[in-house]
Amino acid sequence: MPSDSPAANAQSAFSGLLRPRAPEAGWAAPSPSRHAREEARAGLYVHVPFCAVRCTYCDFSSGSLSAAAVERYLEAMAREAGLRAPSVGHLRFTSVFFGGGTPSALSARHFRRLWATLNRHFTLEPAAEVTLEANPESVRPALLEAWAEAGVNRLSMGAQSFDPRELEMLGRIHSAARPAEAVALARAHGFRRLSLDLMFGFPGHDPERWRATIEAALELDPGHLSAYCYIPEPGTPLGDAVGRGEQRLPEPEVQADMYDVLALHLGAAGYRCYETSNFCRPNEEARHNLVYWLRRPYLGLGPSAHGLWGEERYGNFYAMARWAGALEARVPPESEREVESERSLAQEIVMLGLRLADGVDPADHSERIWLMVERRYRRAFERAQASGRLERTERGGVRIPPRFRFVADDVVARVEADAESGASAGGPGLDLDHDPVQRKGATQRLTLVRRASYL
């Protein structure tokens, strides 16, 4: 399997998996709920770039934890918050997400200081969802008290696996038993909204151990579960080992079967798949992530953070030293900025919205914007419907049928490449299986949009 692209995993473009698959459990519509969609109006993302130990698969912006590094980070964060705040005006954020890195690596004292900085510059809705990513080994009473005191009301814990051998291979430093202990501690401190992250399809992953991990996760009864198919990222120990042929990924069909097992187990347990990689109990959708998928405004703070604000998308410098150095020099800490165009707006609505179980919904957009989408994609939608890869919804939008959800990125890339070829203007469309140039371009754009949206 090629490993020269971030999209080279079981959802690699056009890997031959675009065939109907059996499971329909866990895909009940409408999902996400209209209530959840309405609550996802504007998000604030805060990147915390520290880890005790870097996992073997991770390519996110993170570094070693030290007193000097944390101090520099907090001072730079205060500068960036002050820089971004004027553009926000009186808007109230409906969600905040502390991601990383490992936000739970910050001490209680340092977290309180970061929270005070955000409160000085921004306003939250009274019922805002405030999520913090936490590694199980760092969940402790003092931190839980600081998080609860600040207003954190949702924890996302990175379990990844419940098998000791797999945890060691992935570079995780917690034991297989630690997630259960962390969940119990969180509930004892009043946290009711809990999510677990799992990973599948990595080198050496075994279907039986995957079933055991799913069952162990369900025993903890979280309201939300995220499960991501491993992507071998260049520059990471595990990704480079895959690239050199020292580690082998499971066959694409095996990865797809693992996803089917996931959907069946979670569906039987009462979870709905509301986005390709995300499952939840009723009303437990992650509002902050819905902000991304519905392409609503969000502000990103910290190294490598991205934002979509005021008809412009921006991305901060990846490395903390460069991000902090720019702010210390009193210049914007951005490595990129793109002014929104009709084309990019329509692209992102389709590329992100089709990952949702009920797809792209006209009700989520103004009439003017929906006309842009229809103008660019009408013929591409029709072709995808004819092939069975898309279906029309009762609300006049389009969605990917459940049997094609595991290869959602492939379906989206096909639709995008077909629209880009001029099919939406009446052209013949593409035979994408035999057009690698168009296929690569569509896949690259999808990867960029997903990364910018923290997916």
CATH number at residue 280: 3.20.20.70
User: Has residue 310 been placed in a domain?
Assistant: no
190 in the same domain as 66 = yes
Question: Does 288 share its domain with 401?
Answer: no
Cα separation, 193 vs 390, in Å, equals 33
Low-confidence ranges of the chain (pLDDT < 50): 1-23, 25-29, 57, 60-62, 423-455
Instruction: Report percent pLDDT > 90 for the chain.
Output: 61
Q: In this predicted model, what pLDDT tens digit does every residue of 119-149 receive, in sequence order?
A: 999 999 999 999 999 988 889 999 999 999 9
61 and 192 within one domain? yes
Instruction: Please write the tens of the pLDDT for every residue from 61-106.
Output: 445 668 899 999 999 999 999 999 999 988 999 999 999 888 988 9
104 belongs to a structural domain: yes
Give yes or no: residues 87 and 198 share one domain.
yes
Q: Are residues 239 and 175 in the same domain?
A: yes
Residue 25 CB neighbours (<10 A): 18
State residue 401's pLDDT score. Answer: 93
Task: Say whether both 289 and 154 belong to one domain.
Answer: yes
Examine residue 351 and state whether it is found in any structural domain, yes or no. Answer: yes
* pLDDT on residue 118: 97
Same domain, yes or no: 158 and 282: yes
Nearest by Cα to 179 from 194, 162, 191: 162
Q: What is the pLDDT of residue 93?
A: 98
Residues 259 and 371 in one domain: no
**Strands 306-309 and 50-51: what pairing?**
unpaired
Domain of residue 439, residue span = 342-452
Q: How far apart are the first and last CA of the chain?
A: 22
Q: Are 68 and 261 in contact (CB under 8 A)?
A: no
- Give the count of domains, the chain: 2
- Rounded to two decimals, the pTM is 0.84
Cα(435)–Cα(183) distance, integer angstroms: 48
pLDDT of 31 reads: 63
Domain boundary among 261, 293, 325: 293
Residue 337 lies in a domain: no
CB 195 within 8 A of CB 156: yes
Task: Among 278, 293, 308, give the residue marking a domain's end.
Answer: 293
End position of a domain, from candidates 233, 267, 293:
293
Residues 262 and 139 occupy one common structural domain: yes
Triad 47, 53, 54: Cα angle to 5°: 65
In a domain, residue 318? The reply is no
What pLDDT is recorded for position 327?
Answer: 98
Q: What pLDDT, on a 0 to 100 scale, did the predictor assign at position 344?
A: 92
**pLDDT for position 115:** 97
In a domain, 27, yes or no: no
Whole-number Å distance between alpha carbons of 254 and 204:
11
* Domain contains 302: no
Q: What angle do CA 101, 408, 210 make, to 5 degrees?
A: 60
Q: Which residues contact 161 (CB under 8 A, 6 or more apart)?
A: 167, 170, 172, 176, 198, 199, 209, 213
Structure tokens at 404: 């094609």
What pLDDT, on a 0 to 100 scale, did the predictor assign at position 61? Answer: 46
